[in-house]
Amino acid sequence: LQYILSIFPYESLGFDLTVEHLVSIGYPQELLNFVYDPSFPTRGLVFDSMYGNLLKVDAYGNILVCAHGFNFMRGPETRELYPNKFIQRDDTERFYILNTLFNLPETYLLACLVDFFTNCDRYTSCETGFKDGDLFMSYKSMFQDVRDAVDWVHFKGSLKEKTVENLEKYVVKDAKLPLLLSRMKEVAKVFLATNSDYQYTDVSFFLWFHSGPSGSVGTTHRPWQSYFDLILVDARKPVFFGEGTVLRQVDTTTGRLKIGTYTGPLQYGIVYSGGSSDIVCDLLGAKGKDILYIGDHIFGDILKSKKRQGWRTFLVIPELAQELHVWTDKSSLFEELQSLDIFLAELYKHLDSSSNERPDISSIQRRIKKVTHDMDMCYGMMGSLFRSGSRQTLFASQVMRYADLYAASFINLLYYPFSYLFRAAHVLMPHESTVEHAHVDVGDMESPMATRNRRSTNGSSSYPGSHGPIFL
């Protein structure tokens, strides 16, 4: 909710409260000296609970970056633990994907803890954990403690209470929000489904809609509830997209739930608790692809709504603003990387399987590695959210697969007519993007499947020989 409707930089608060909870259950007091550094973590990293490593991987599980604490491991070191620089991502007992915005402080805390226990003289570092005398703590146990602490802070701790006490500090408002919702409501039905309870939602939305200079956009005195046709709190996503929970009505005066299951039609001004995506469709009279669902959680929002309901999806990626800035500001690095790839292919262009010549590509490989590292460092210590050099990350592949639209903010919809047809750019497969139509000779009568003697583009640099191209 917070990341969709505003920039909500309270990672530092969540980090501090999680550390305090770990200390309260017996972790060393020195942890209280940790200070959150937002330049280190990025979303989509995988934590290996066996070796305590943070891994940046691609869609297939190939390791792009490996860090033990704040020590970035080189290729030979990585291969000692992962012989093929590859992991089985479906081994969820061992590998945990840190995909959400709320995982960012957790990611940094895991790195801090591994770094602390690896380098502190009181502890003996082991391959799968650390020892304090006769006591052994595995990285798996440490990870579970962190997971439990994060859940405690969010569900039982004081995170929301402290946030509400100082909303002006943690919430950056956008005066265009009420304007966009008003325009959306003129042409369609707008619903809100949040995992937050009513009291927290009410306080947050009051700030978003009613603070600011008198007369400015968004300072009209209409209730925030009037911007929505349907409001659901306590949604419990991703369960919401499956069996859901009992639909109940909220007493907006007390914030308490009324007894019994709500079975009536959609009523203006009523706030509901629980429910499911099926109930949303029934109340709004909508079917799957009639709905554009906006969320910031790649799994709990986008993947589940897409796979279970067939809803259209809009993923909010706040980091995209910085990603685009670096992408344009440092475009020369990516262009150099492309040039190096072309030059590498040129070395093999006139060779085939009968050739004994082995071009020396070591200098090009070193330069590719250097340029890739320089590109990554422009984004932060863990590099770009979407790529490492020319290779896309796991997170990027999930965005491409499950999000129909994505942007840094859904406020961007304000700049498009609601009749606008969003169409994805035509994506070519490698054999389509590297071979020109006019240059492929398959014979006058034979089909490409029938002929065994195909000749390809003479000037193409995407594969070595002039026969039988292999596409990656």
Average pLDDT over residues 282-306: 92
Per-residue tokens: 312 = 């259209």
The distance from CA 311 to its chain's CA centroid, rounded to whole angstroms, is 19
Q: Of 209, 169, 211, 203, whose CA–CA distance to 8 is shortest?
A: 169
Q: Does domain 173-286 have CATH number 3.40.50.1000?
A: yes
Average pLDDT over residues 390-416: 93
Alpha-carbon distance of 89 to 102, in angstroms, equals: 21
Residue 452 has pLDDT above 60, yes or no: no
Domain range list for the chain: 2-168, 173-286, 320-415, 439-472
Alpha-carbon distance of 82 to 75, in angstroms, equals: 10
Per-residue model confidence (pLDDT) at position 51:
98
Q: Are 187 and 418 within 8 A, CB to CB?
A: yes
- 3 state DSSP class of 201: helix
**296 appears as a binding residue in the annotation:** yes
Per-residue model confidence (pLDDT) at position 217:
44
- SS3 annotation, 150-199: HHHHHHCCCHHHHHHHCHHHHCECCCCHHHHHHHHHHHCCCEEECCCCHH
- Determine which of 93-97, 99-103, 374-378, 439-443 has the lowest per-residue pLDDT on average: 439-443
- What are the tens digits of pLDDT across the range 246-261? 999 999 999 999 999 9
